[in-house]
Each structure stands twice: as C-alpha cells, then as structure tokens.
Amino acid sequence: MERSEFNYSAPFTVTNEMKESFGEKGYVLIRGLLEKDELQKIKSTLEGSEEIQRHSFVTDDSEGRKSRVSLWCQPGNDVTGMLSRSQRVAGTSAELLGGEVYHYYTKLMMKEARTGGRFVWHQDYGYWYNNGNLYPDMLSVFVAIDKCEKANGCLQVLEGSHKCGRIEHSRVGGQMGADMDRVEQLRSRLPHKYMEMNPGDALFFHCNVLHTNAANVSDKRRWVFIACYNKASNDPVIEHHYPRYNKLDIVDDKAIRECTNVTDMDGKAFLDPSDNKTIEASRG
C-alpha cells in the first residue's frame, strides 16, 4: 500500500513512491513544504497586501455563511509569485503530471472564525472541463497558511476518486457541486480522508479528486493558498477567463527567501468575479 504522506527536506526530490501515491490515491501530502521563516514571509505578505484584499470577493454557501476569495491568473514577481513559481511547487507539479506545466491560477481562500462557509463536494475538473481543457492533466497545490483541522473545516477528500472520471456538476447555491447520488455511492466504496494540516504543509491533488470542506464554526480562522497548474500539452482549445498556455519561469526554491518584493502585485492579473461563470460572487 502506497503511503501518501512525506516530509520536506532540502534538497527536495520527487520520488517514485510519491508518483505512485499520486497515481493511486490522487494526492500527495508534503509536511513542512514551507519552512517557518518562509511561511511567515508569505503569511505577512498575504495579510498585509491591500491589493490582494481589494480584489477579493465573497462566496455564499447558501446556509448563511460566507468565505472570501482573492484569485489571480498570473503568479507575478512578489514573494507569493515566487512560491507559485518555485521548483518545490511548480516543479513538483510537473513531475507528478509527467510533463511541463504552466500556472493556471492561484487563489487565497479566507475562512474567518465562526463565519466561514462550506464548499460542497466537487472536482476541480468538474468545471475546468468547460474551460476548454480537453484532458484532466491538471492539479492543485493546497498550502496551509493556518492550521487546518476538523474544527475549522479542513479539506476532505475521497481517496482514489480521480480514477472514477469526471462526474456531472450543477449549481448548488453559489457554487458548482458534483452529483450527490454518485458522490454517496463513491463514499460507500472509497476512503473518506480529513486532511488535517499544520501551517506550511502542502497537499498536491489531482483535478478529478472529489473534495469538500465544512463550515468554519471554530474560533480560529482558516486561510489557505492554492496554486493550480495545467499541463502545457493540455492548452485549452477556447479563450477563457483563465489563461491559455504561457511559459512558466520556474525559479529556484531559494527565491522565496531572497525575494524582497512583498508589496508590488503588478502583473498578477486579478480576476474580476463578474468574469467567473463557475461561481456567484459579490464584493460584499
């Protein structure tokens, strides 16, 4: 049985065991992908950036709870861009997908204490499919900025569900959700995992993995940084609000520490929520 959890240490190498876990389970969990000083630098930038907050929008879970999201289509040259472009994130994504990748988008998910809404069961490819991506050669890298635990609505996945192919999705409140009859059938067969993570841990997961998270009813916020990648060979066949293939300049891991730009967010191409057809959002 493949293990799915590994510890980061520099220099970092993607092993065959990691690739096997990604292929069989649909995900790989890397503990401590960000070291403490790197995490603090990223966290301070996210918290202190007026531009990231100014471009954020609210999603409603239809149960009275809300989450705030800020999403950008280009990584940019600030320290958060160095994280998305780093060898340990983008390079690992290329290794797991088996070829060159480009940056699809990055988002900061902000679930505040006692008010953060839930996200329904879904696959990312459930709606990325409609963006002109012909193949599910895509993944997300979920980096915990705060501690993620059951109490504050950590990510949940159905292990191995990526092997089931794309499931039909439809509108659920302000979100796109998977067909729940099929989800329940799969839940009867597949391990249901709660991805409890410490700050700095990262989960690399396939775009067809079914996942969800509960509302944050705790007194602790839950912020996560999610960078998404598409395989270069999967260049979308239509123009969309998310980018088509453009060469990603992958940087050495030391760029996270060495980057001095923590304020200039030029070039990130923040998404206007009115252009996003997969969610219903507001600026409120």
DSSP annotation of 232 reads G
d(CA 86, CA 98): 17
Task: Residue 261: count other Cβ atoms within 10 Å of its Cβ.
Answer: 15
The pLDDT, as a whole number, for residue 60 is 72
Q: Mean pLDDT across the stretch 3-22? A: 96
**Res 118: pLDDT:** 75
Q: Work out the burial of residue 37: count CB atoms within 10 Å of its CB; fewer than 13 is exposed, 13-18 middle, 19 or more buried.
A: exposed
**Is the pTM of the predicted complex or chain greater than 0.85?**
yes
Domains parsed from the chain with CATH numbers: 5-278 (2.60.120.620)
Spatial distance between the Cα atoms of 204 and 27, rounded to a whole number of angstroms:
5
Instruction: Give the pLDDT confidence of 116-131 residue by residue, as tens digits.
Output: 667 789 999 999 999 9
* Whole-number Å distance between alpha carbons of 267 and 274: 19
Q: What are phi and psi of 177, to 5 degrees?
A: -125, 150
Percent above pLDDT 90 for the chain: 81
Is 60 exceeded by the pLDDT of residue 160? yes
Q: Per-residue confidence at 172, pLDDT binned at 50, 70, 90? A: low
Between CA 150 and CA 268 the distance in angstroms is 32
User: Does residue 15 surpass a pLDDT of 90?
Assistant: yes
Cα separation of 248 and 151, whole Å?
37
61 pLDDT band (50/70/90 cuts)?
low
Separation CA 101–CA 115 (nearest Å):
35
Q: Quote the tokens at residue 81.
A: 């861009």
Report whether 236 contacts 136 (CB < 8 A): no
CA distances from 58 to 66, 194, 281 (A): 6, 25, 5
